[in-house]
Amino acid sequence: MPSTVEIVEVGPRDGLQARPDFVATRDKIALIDRLAAAGLRHFEASSFVSPRAVPQLADAAEVLAGVTRHDGMTLSVLVPNLRGAEAAIAARADALVMFASASETHNIKNVNRSRADSLAGFRDIAEVARTRGVPLHGAIATAFGCPFEGEVPVSEVVRIACYYADLGVRRITLGDTTGMATPRLVRERVRALRTQLLDLPVALHFHNTRGMALVNVAAGLEAGAAHFESAIGGLGGCPFAPGATGNLCTEDLVHFLHEEGIETGLDLDALIETARWFEGVLGAPLPGQVVRAGPRLARRGTDEVATATG
């Protein structure tokens, strides 16, 4: 079990991408700034995809320009192709994230390209990133199962991960796009990648679709993973995968890790306050649990409930 864990906040991108109502650019910037004040330094801030496909993220460049930059802060963005990569670099993105699906059908639904075409196009992205000195990460969607095809062989996940490694990525993320991960699959896939790719960090990106996110975090820790992606309040859902729901909740994850004695460097109370603030921005409750109940040892007033009689 690692003694420390790095958390990447994906709420500004994966958390918001499927919302039908446009969240104001100023509120996206304020969200990142508030989370940075709580100690977060690694963000998936937006995505340079077609605004026709994901209109919620059409303001990616404005968000990057408006965020207050701190020492050690990384604002990464998803890029589907060379055009997106060039736009992201021009907007001063700190890292680029390439993404492909472990299943062919989801890749076509997600980016309207075959996996072979997606992977071939990543060579151009890798070249421009290398030339400009911008770090590159690789994400694998549907790494634990596909809503269209069912089981995804671990060999496909390893194949894409090795391809990314050859392109020079600094981290590989396994995405549980529709909450199909189980502890057995998590242990299997993390160990397979650590065996094949040795010291290349493996990050885990869980959705809580079937209530398994924190159980899968425990399995990932057991297998040696020390990087996790999560979204404040449990925001999220993929617009191109049926049944997708919210991400692993950041404050729930931090609460769990701290109770296990694993350091994150994050202020849990500030995260809870940020989740409550953002519920007000959205005008709707978020699915996180700790934001409702508070930390385990939070004291409550005896006058909050009636005393039993009879």
The rounded distance, in Å, linking the Cα atoms of 76 and 129 is 13
The rounded distance, in Å, linking the Cα atoms of 97 and 83 is 13
Catalytic, out of 146, 162, 238, 249? 238
The stretches of the chain forming alpha helices (DSSP H) are 25-37, 60-66, 82-90, 104-111, 115-132, 154-167, 183-197, 213-223, 250-259, 268-282, 290-293
| Cα angle 140, 134, 207; round to 5 | 25
Closest listed residue to residue 172, CA positions, set 138, 144, 205, 196:
138
Is there a catalytic annotation at residue 238? yes
The rounded distance, in Å, linking the Cα atoms of 164 and 231 is 25
- Cα 269 → chain centroid: 21
Decide: helix, strand or coil at residue 297: coil
The catalytic residues are 238
